[in-house]
A = this chain, B = another copy of it.
Amino acid sequence: MAGLVDVYVSSIGMTHFGKRDEGLLELLVQASEEALEGKHVDALFVGCQNPEEFCGLANISTRLASELGHAPRPAMRIENSSASGSAAFMAGAIAVMSGLFESVLVVAGEKMTGVDTPRAQKILTEILTPDERSYGLTMAGLCGMIARRYMHETGLTREDLALIPVKNHHNATLNPLAHFHKEITVEDVLKSKMVADPLRLYDCAPISDGAAAAVISSHGGDVEVAGFGHGTETMAVVDRGTLLSFRANIEAARMAFHTAGLMPTDINVAEIHEAFSILELVNSEDMGLFHRGESWKAMKAGETQLSGRLPINTSGGHKARGHPVGGSGMAQICEIFLQLTGNAGKRQVDGAKVGLTHNMGGFACNNIVTILRGNP
Contact = CB atoms under 8 A, between A and B. Distances in A.
Interface of A: 4, 43, 49-50, 52-53, 56-59, 61-63, 65-67, 70-81, 87, 90-91, 94-95, 97-100, 123, 126-127, 129, 230-236, 247-248, 250-251, 255, 259, 361-362, 365-366
A317 to B, nearest CB: 22
Contacts of A236: 66
A11 to B, nearest CB: 22
Nearest to A56: B126
Chain A, interface SS category: mixed
A218 to B, nearest CB: 12
Contacts of A71: 231-234, 247-248, 365
7 contacts: A4-B99, A59-B366, A65-B366, A66-B233, A71-B248, A72-B233, A76-B90
A85 to B, nearest CB: 13
A147 to B, nearest CB: 23
Contact of A61 (B43, B80, B94): B80
Contact of A62 (B50, B76, B366): B366
Given A52-B52, A62-B366, A126-B58, A232 B70 contact: yes
Contacts of A255: 74
Contact of A231 (B4, B52, B72, B230): B72
Given A53-B53, A100-B97, A59 B235 contact: yes
Contact of A232 (B65, B98, B99): B65
Contacts of A362: 59, 62
Query: Which among A76, A94, A98 has the highest number of chain B CB atoms within 10 Å?
Result: A76
Contacts of A99: 4, 97
A76 B78 contact: yes
Contacts of A81: 58-59, 62
Query: Which among A67, A72, A98, A365 has the highest number of chain B CB atoms within 10 Å?
Result: A72
Contact of A76 (B49, B58, B91): B91
Contacts of A366: 59, 61-62, 65, 75
B127 A59 contact: yes
Nearest to A61: B80
A333 to B, nearest CB: 17
A251 B42 CA distance: 12
Contacts of A52: 50, 52-53, 126
A94 B87 contact: no
Contacts of A234: 66, 71
Nearest to A100: B94
A251 B230 CA distance: 32
Contact of A75 (B49, B53, B232): B232
Contact of A91 (B70, B91, B230): B91
A48 to B, nearest CB: 9
Contacts of A123: 58
B79 A77 contact: yes
Contacts of A58: 49-50, 81, 123, 126-127
Contacts of A80: 59, 61-62, 75-77
